[in-house]
Each structure stands twice: as structure tokens, then as C-alpha cells.
Structure 1
């Protein structure tokens, strides 16, 4: 039976805790950038940029632990299957912890290989290695946290998700400031602070989700459910790897132009991060609403959820674009004392201001298809758009740093267009509402 008509107030009530929690995620990156950036050491700032790219690639390669968990949990909730909801949480926590432990053990092979692929070298490589190895101490906790967070979002428990997100990010900010400014641990201190915050957050998440641990042991190893979990996760993993490859290429494109350009790119990416993470509050709401609608086979409910969330996304994106255009230079000055980095960043701000508007359709459609657990569509769209982005970047290289950012803007457009090709197929999965 279809749920009652969805309202804008209900969307906002579900989205605002996620938005607040997500707003603190880029705060961590901003603090990391400011703590290192205000030392005036462009190499250290560039090392944080490269190291963050490597760690994000390693961790978000397993981002299905969050995304797949949200969609599958929402669908189980919509279908009223409490036993499967509990089993999903336990599967996710076990899988996340095991994968994180494997990353930690394999770092001696992973880190040198990752550095070899990046346009770094010399002291930049040395600083980047210190950051990455420190971050990997938190890998098991970080990936188990993905699963717990995705489970809470799938159930629409956004205030609980907000609580543990705040614990994670505030701990990170406090520890980074202490380790770098008080203890003088430099780039390695930034990585250790984040790893310690990951462990603090996963302990909090285990406490918040304890009600979901109960359930039959046999259901945990249900073959059909496990087959579906791995099928969805396989496609989401390929999708995430393709998008991570896109951003790794983007970071490497900046590194190719020199430490100052890469450092400016790291500063400017904070604008993109804040916009994307706050807008994710609405996109995560779309995941939960679309997943629940598909579980209940409510076509009209899904369409209404997409429309209302889209309205909020576009309005928020426009506000971010205006804010970046007006206040961007002042914010850059807060993050770095390097006059060269400030000059490069100022020239790129007009392009950066457009990112929220161009990126919104891609981010929203991601949420819709993740909620529908449409892994094949997400996988294919990511592969197509990443290939198109790389071709675009190669074509725009004569434009220097401006070409790097123009290619990123078009990369978002390619992704939205590719996902749009699968929209009709998604609608065919649902019968019309009575």
C-alpha cells in the first residue's frame, strides 16, 4: 500500500540532520588544509592533497559498504522485513572490519604502488607516505563505520547518523589541531588524528546501532541475500573505482602543473567538498525515500520524492554558487598564507563557483539510483563518464589550470547524462500506483 503523500516539510525534517552532519565532513578537510596551509609550506599542503586522494581511493573503493547498505536497508524497511534489516547490519560490520584490516596489512605493497602512479617525487612523496601510512591505522574502523552509517540512513534515522558523524568530525578537528600545532607532528599528525577519530566514531556507532544486532544467525548467511548483496556491491565497487579514478586523475593533473597549482587546487576543492557534502543531505534522503518506495512498489511516491528533493537541491546549489563567487577570495586567504597559491586560486574561482550547479544533477541521480540499488546503471554511467572526462581533460590541457577545472565541470555533466539514459528503465521496475 502506498505511503501517504510526501511533503516538503517531511523531506526537510529528514534531510537537515544529514546536512548538518555532512557539513562537518569537509570541515575536517578545511581544518587539515588550514593547519598545514598556514605554515606556508606548499609541499606539505600538496602532500595532504595527494595523500587524501590515495586514502579516499583506497577507502571509497569499498564505499558500497555505505551506499549498498542504505539502499538494501531502505528496501527491507519498505517491505517490512525486520530480520533482513538486522542481518544487513551485521554483514556490513563484519565485511567492513575485515576489508579494513586487509588494507592495513597490505600497505607495504599498496602505498609504494599508489605513489608511483602520482606525479609527485622527492620530498613530496616522503610527506605523502607519512600521511597515508598514518591514516591506514584507522582503516578497519573507517570501513565498519561506513556500514553502520549506511544502515542508519537506510532506516531514516538521520538524527542518530548526525550524532556519530559529529563525534567523528569534531574528534578529528580537535586531534588534528593538537597533534600538528601543539605536538609538532606535521603531516603525519594529520593522518594519525583522522585514524584515531575513526576508532572513536566506530565505537559510538556500535552503541547507537546495538538494537540491530539481534537476529537469527542463520539469516546472516542466507544464500539469496548474500548473492544479492555481493551483486549490488560488485557493481557499486566498479562504479566507485571509476569515479575515484576520475578524481585521482584530476589531482594528478594539478600535480603535473607544480606544487603551487596542486596546493591551490586542494584549497579550492574545499568549496566543492562543502557544496557536495551539504547537498548530500538531500541526496541521501532521496536514497532512503526511493529505496522505501521500491520496497513498497510505490511508483508515484518515488517520483514525488525525486521532484521534491530536486527542488531543494537546485535552490541550495544556487546559494552555494553565489556564496563562492562573492566570498571565495576571502576564504582562500584564511586557508593559506602563500601568495603564489592565493594568486592561482583567485584565477580559478569563477569556474569553482559553477561546480555546485553543474554537479547537482549528477549527485541527485546518484542518490536515486543508489536507493534503487541499480548497480548496473551506476557502474556503466561511471565508466562512460570517467572515460569522457579523461578525453576532455586531454583535449583541454593547453588551457593549463583552467582546462583542469573545465574538464571537471564537464565530467559532472557527462555523469548526469549517462545516468539519465537509465531513467526509463528504472521507472519500468515499478508498477503504476493505484
Structure 2
């Protein structure tokens, strides 16, 4: 049986797992900022092209995060059962699946890059430049997915330090390479795309080397790949529900006024930032709860769940206090436009009030992901989107409720999810023990 220290769930241990995970989560957005700053000096067309093509690549990556989260859930159980080699084998299977999916996406992406970009931006110089960037950047897709798979199995065995080093090495080298290629080699926007692929190749290579060094069988196991595809399907549908909600919110805001969509963008990005912090806590919850269930300790897993929920609630309350205090000054950091500043309060107080709710929901997302309860998470998110968010947001569009209506829809979405995860937590059916969830 694994030692208790691997699953204690103390604040120190959660922080020790969450902080490196947070740095990994933040590394890609920070690299994108560097890339944007470099390309921004080329002119408005390259910058707009990067925005369009980068959005397509980011949405693709977001949709496929199951390579990380699904692998963590399965590997953590095996780690808790003192079956580290089998946990690493889950990483092997995820890597084979990532490689196959990445190669398929390269082929499909080369064919559809043009139509997708032109659907978003129309035709013209921006679209042409965006297509060129995207076709090069898509060559890094297998390496993006290999990095996700590597993060997944390492988090499952409670190793968040090495993924941090690997991701920082890849993005750090690429951040230096980007201006060299863009300006020094005079490649322009093409240099940005090449640097992006270089970052993915470097990080993925380190994860593959770590996998090989574990000295486990490296052959594909079809049964394990099928099991990973099952949890991947559920998590991908859940992610698509999130994307439909956020895209709908932006669409309704855009049809209201320029000031409305600007204010929505400011508050939504702050919400995404807080969600990033809480996602790191959820990753720690995945690892700890999965290990407890894998060791056959259902009671301990339930105690961990309640403890992590309390952590999430406290963190959410603290965030609400901070953003309440910052309300008079923080919006002006993002914009000086009087119309946008006048609109922001219509969303701001929803955003503040949602912090404690989000703290609980995101913590329990991590618990249920660690338990491998992907089917429930898929269904509850689809219900929250279909019966909570979408009716309110399109009613807002019809009756002109503006930004307050959009954030009322987001509130309804989160409240339905809160009710669902709390009911699931109390019912206890998620706490299925064993090295593999039946």
C-alpha cells in the first residue's frame, strides 16, 4: 500500500503539486504574449493574422486537453495502487494516441486551413498571412499532443516538477528564437510559426525521453488505447460545451455594441485568469484523489474531496475580496475608453459573486476527474449549457438585456454545475475504488 504522505491532501502538499502545474499552465499564454509582442512590430496585417491563426490553433489544443486530463485520471489510480510501471504505460498509450491524432490533424489541417481561416476573417491579406502561419504551426500538432500526454502521466505519478522544466525549456528557447527568426533571419511571420513548432518539438522530445527512461514496454496496447478514447470522448464533448457557451456569449455581446463586447472581453479574461489558478488546484485534486481510489481507500478519497472543496471555497472568497477592492482601479488598467469602462460594472459584480462558487466547482471538477467520473462530468456540463446558459444568453439577445444578461447566463451555467457536482459529491457514487475504474 502506498504511504499516506502521497495522499494526505494537506495544504502544503496541494500547493506543492499545484504551483508547478500552474507554471506549466501559464507558460503557453506567456509565450503567446512574447510572440505577439515580436510580431506586433511587423505591422497590423501580420498581427491580425497571428490573432486569427493563433485562435484556431488554441481552440484545437483546448479541445484535445483530454490527452492530459484523461491520462492523469488513469495513471493516478495505478500510482496509488503501487503500480508505477502500469501508470507509466498509460503514458505510453496516450503518447501513441497523441502521435496518431497529431499526424491526422496535420493532414486535415493542411486541407482545411484556408476555409477555416477565411470563415473567421474573410478573404484578403490577413487571411492569406494567417493561412501560411497556421499551415506551418500545424506541423507541431503531434508534439503539442505528446506534451499533453507527458504532462498527464507525470501528474498521475505526482511529478509536477519535471513537466515544469520541460515546458519552460521549450518555450524559453523558442522565445529567444522567435525574434531571431522574425527579424534576424528576416522571415517575418513565417519565423514566428517556425519558432512555435520548435518550442513544441523541444518540450515533446524531453517528455518522450523521460518516458523511454522509465524502461517500460513501449508497444501500443489496443485495449488501453480504447479505454483512453472513451474518457477522451467524454472530456472532449464537455470542452465543446464550454466553447459553445463562451462563443455564444461573445457573439451576443458583439451584436449589442462595441463597448459591450470590449467590456465583456476584459472581465472574461480576468475570469479565465482565475480559472487558470483554480485549474492548478484541480490538477492536484486529480492526482491525490486518483491515488487514494487506486489504493482502495474510498473513505480517504471522500475526505480529500471535502477538504479540497473547502480549499476551493476559501480561495474563491479571497478572490472575491481582492476583486471587490480592485474594482475602482483594475478595469482602467485594461482600457481607457469611457464607454467600455461604463459597461464593465454590469459584468464586474457577477464576476465577483461567482468567485466562491467557481472555487467550489473547479475543485470538485478536479476531484471527479481524478475519480475518472468523465461520463457524469460530460452530462452535467451539457445540461448546464443546454438548460442554464444558452436559454438565458439568447433571451438576453432577444430582449436586449446587454452585458448583465450575458453574465446572468454565465451565472446560471455555473449554478447548475454547482448543484450537479455537490449532489454527486454527497451521493458518493463517484468514489469507485480500484486501480482501474470499472
TM tier, smaller: 0.7 to 0.9
Structure 1 residue 416 corresponds to structure 2 residue 415: no
2:409 to 407, 410, 430: 407
Q: Name whichever of 286-295 and 250-259 sits farther off.
A: 250-259
Query: 1:391 is matched with which residue?
Result: 391
1:215 maps to: 216
- Secondary structure, counterpart of 2:82 in structure 1: coil
Displacement of 1:75 in angstroms is: 0.9
- 1:268–1:427 Cα change, 3 Å: closer
Tell me, in whole angstroms, the C-alpha distance in 2 between the residues paired with 1:114 and 1:375: 30
DSSP 3-state at the match of 2:167:
helix
> Is structure 2 residue 9 aligned with structure 1 residue 9?
no
User: Contact conserved, 2:174 with 2:195, CA < 8 A, in 1?
Assistant: yes
Cα gap change, 1:329 to 1:183, in 2 (>3 Å): farther
1:105 and 2:107 aligned: yes
Shift in Å, 1:351: 3.6
Are 2:98 and 2:145, in contact at CA under 8 Å, matched by a contact in 1? yes
Which runs of structure 2 are paired with 1:121-200 in the superposition (5 Å)?
A: 121=122, 129=131, 132-133=134-135, 135-171=137-173, 193-200=195-202
With 186-195 and 299-308 compared, the bigger mean Cα shift is at 186-195
Q: Per-residue displacement from partner, 1:249-290 (whole Å, max 9, x unpaired)?
A: 334334444666545544443322321112222110110111
Query: Which whole-Å CA distance do the structure 2 matches of 1:173 and 1:253 have between them?
Result: 36
CA separation of 1:330 and 1:51: change in aligned 2, threshold 3 A:
farther
When structure 1 is superposed on structure 2, of 29-38 and 318-327 the one drifting more is: 29-38
1:205/1:189 CA distance change after superposition, 3 Å = same
| Contact 2:73 2:371 survives alignment (8 Å) | yes
Stretches of structure 1 that go unaligned for 5 or more consecutive residues are none
Task: Report the more deviating stretch, 265-274 or 137-146.
Answer: 265-274
> SS of the counterpart of 1:405?
helix
The answer (yes or no) to whether the contact 2:70–2:232 under 8 Å persists in 1 is yes
Contact 2:252–2:394 under 8 Å retained in 1: no
Give the Cα separation in 2 of the matches to 1:350 and 1:37. Answer: 33
CA distance in structure 1 between the aligned counterparts of 2:81 and 2:411, rounded to whole angstroms: 39
Secondary structure of the 1:106 match is: helix
Partner of 2:278: 279
| Larger RCO (alpha carbons 8 Å, 6+ apart) | 1
Deviations 1:169-190 (A, max 9, x none): 5456556677789999888776
CA distance in 2, matches of 1:137, 1:393: 37
Change (3 A) 1:346 1:167: farther
Contact 1:381–1:418 (CA under 8 A) maintained in structure 2: yes
Assess, with a 3 A threshold, how the Cα gap between structure 1 residues 142 and 355 changes in structure 2: closer, same or farther. farther
Distance 2:209 2:285 in 1: 26
* 1:419, distance to aligned residue in structure 2 (A): 3.3
Q: Is the 8 A contact 2:42 2:188 kept in 1?
A: no
Determine the structure 1 residue equivalent to 2:207: 205
Tell whether the 8 Å contact from 2:99 to 2:145 is kept in structure 1 after alignment.
Answer: yes
Q: Is the 8 A contact 2:146 2:207 kept in 1?
A: no
2:322 aligns to what? 323
1:63 corresponds in structure 2 to 65
Residue 18 of structure 1 aligns to a residue whose secondary structure is helix
Could you say if the C-alpha distance between residues 308 and 190 of structure 1 is closer, same or farther in structure 2, counting changes exceeding 3 Å?
A: farther
Question: Counterparts of 2:326 and 2:113 in 1: how far apart (Å)?
Answer: 37
Counterpart of 1:94?
Answer: 96
| Shift in Å, 1:140 | 1.5
Q: Does the 8 Å CA contact 1:39/1:337 hold for their aligned counterparts?
A: no
Q: Which residue of 2 aligns with 1:244?
A: 243
What CA deviation, in whole Å up to 9, does each residue of 1:300-323 have, x standing for no partner?
221222223223322333333333
Q: Does the CA contact (< 8 Å) of 2:117 and 2:127 recur in 1?
A: yes
Kindly report the root-mean-square deviation, in angstroms, between the aligned alpha carbons of the 2 structures.
3.8
Preserved contact between residue 133 and residue 189 of structure 2 (Cα < 8 Å): yes
293-302 vs 4-13, greater mean Cα deviation: 4-13
Q: Which runs of 5+ in 2 are unaligned?
A: none
Closer, same or farther: CA 203–368 of 1 in aligned 2, 3 Å: same
Aligned-partner SS, 1:77: helix
Q: Measure, in 1, the Cα distance between the counterparts of 2:95 and 2:338.
A: 46
Q: Is the 8 A contact 2:88 2:153 kept in 1?
A: no
Report deviation, 1:106: 1.3
Cα offset, 1:30, TM superposition: 5.4
What is the rounded CA distance, in whole Å, between the counterparts of 1:179 and 1:341 in structure 2? 37
CA drift at 1:243: 2.2
State how far apart, in whole Å, the 1-side matches of 2:329 and 2:184 are: 26
Alpha-carbon distance in 1 for matches of 2:127, 2:249: 18
* TM-score, reference length from structure 1: 0.81
